[in-house]
Copies of this chain bind each other. A is one copy, B any other.
Amino acid sequence: MKLQKIQGAASIAFPRPVFIESAASIAGKKEGEGPLGSEFDMICKDPMFGTATWEAAESTLQKEAALLAIGKAGLKPEEIRMAFAGDLLAQSIASSFGIAEMGIPFYGLFGACSTMGESLSLGAMAVAAGYGEHILCATSSHFASAEKEFRYPLGYGNQRPLSATWTVTGSGACVIGQNPPSFPSKGEAMPLRQGNVCAAITEITTGKIVDYGFRDSLNMGACMAPAACDTIYQHLFDFGRAPSDYDAIVTGDLGVIGQQILLDLLSGKNIDISQVHQDCGLMIFDSNTQDTHSGGSGCGCAATVLCAHLLPKIITGDWKRILFVPTGAMLSKVSFNEGDPVAGIAHAVVIEQAVVS
């Protein structure tokens, strides 16, 4: 495998690891019935999360996940130096209403379904530079608020093509910091420290917006795969690595169709990631029994799978190093209705096992 020179570097290697102090995931009923159901911290069977609107439901979901992550890190909201969060809704209202009440200095993001990658990237940049001891990175999505935002009223019962993905109702939140987490308290679920083994962010590769001119918003996997290809290629080039240097390269929500396109695109560049590639969208639902077509999607897909499933595999020693690559599709209902293409973006984060003394 020989990588060709590409425009500029887009990666940062942090001089010291940025520790993931805690991670929390809250998912909806359908996600709870999927293959990862037993791994989420919490499953809420009420899709309204006790509120009156889908948007308030998502805000509540994100707030609860954030509070859970802060609590699992043994911290209080006022000890969080800053928060990076975003979501899919117009003007990111799930985050602004969700995180707002905690009084944490706040940077709102929009990276579509790549948001967990964007928030972890910016959070890690801030921690590594010494701008804060503890930083919160969070995102969420909700099936019903996303359908309302981008597609049709649920009551229409519209048909979905097999290329469509199913927006995950879920939120994932991490607290990251300069120091490894302390030893788990008794009975704590999924602590991010076992003995001296922790999980840490060591490198990032910032995504570019990649537009192949696809216009089908019911085939997001195809729209996002070129961006995933671009970021993964750039990452391997910047660090001079091969796919086999990773135990897993995990994209966010490409689904069945996007995964195949990604493998094909990288194959055209003589890179074969098929042995290590996984996709959060393919892990969170069982498409045979859950009628989720191409797979799961939404900011909450990559975020909940990271917090519930990927990080524990690093802590338990199954994996030493993974490349976490959430993928986002850049569209709004206005841009779609005006006939604009759906571009993609993917932000890559290297998460490694860190053994502390």
A-to-B contact residues, CB < 8 Å: 7-10, 12, 53, 55-56, 78-79, 81-82, 86, 88-93, 96-97, 99-101, 103-112, 118, 121-122, 125-126, 128-129, 131, 148-149, 206-209, 211, 330-335, 338, 340, 343, 345
Residues of B within 8 A of A90 (CB): 90-91, 149, 332-334
Q: Which residues from B are CB-within-8-Å of A334?
A: 55, 89-90, 93, 148-149
Please indicate the chain B residues that have their CB under 8 angstroms from the CB of A129 in the complex: 125, 128-129, 131
Q: How far is the CA of A121 from the CA of B206 in the complex (A)?
A: 18
- Do B206 and A106 have beta carbons less than 8 Å apart? yes
Query: Could you list some 16 contacts between A and B, CB below 8 A?
Result: A10-B82, A55-B335, A86-B110, A90-B91, A93-B332, A93-B334, A96-B330, A96-B345, A97-B340, A103-B208, A106-B208, A107-B122, A107-B206, A108-B118, A122-B122, A129-B129
Report the minimal beta-carbon distance from A52 to chain B, rounded to whole angstroms: 8
Would you call A208 and B55 a contact (CB within 8 A)? no
Q: CB distance B338 to A53 under 8 Å?
A: yes
Cβ-closest chain B residue relative to A205: B105
Chain B hits for A56, CB < 8 A: 338, 340
Which B residues are CB-close (under 8 A) to A343? 96-97, 100
Which label, helix, strand, loop or mixed, suits the secondary structure of the A interface?
A: mixed
Q: Tell me whether A105 and B207 are in contact (CB under 8 A).
A: yes
Once the chains are docked, how many angstroms separate the CA of A157 from the CA of B128? 52
A100 to B207, CA, bound (A): 11
A227 to B123 CA separation, bound complex (whole angstroms): 23
A208 lies within 8 A of B104 (CB): yes
Contact B110 A78 (CB under 8 A): no
| B103 pairs with A91, CB closer than 8 A | no
A110 CB contact (under 8 Å) in B9, B91, B104, B338: B91
Residues of B within 8 A of A340 (CB): 55-56, 93, 97
Contact of A206 among B12, B105, B330, B332 (CB under 8 A): B105
The 8 tightest CB contacts between A and B, nearest first, are A90-B90, A129-B129, A105-B206, A100-B209, A91-B332, A96-B330, A108-B110, A92-B110
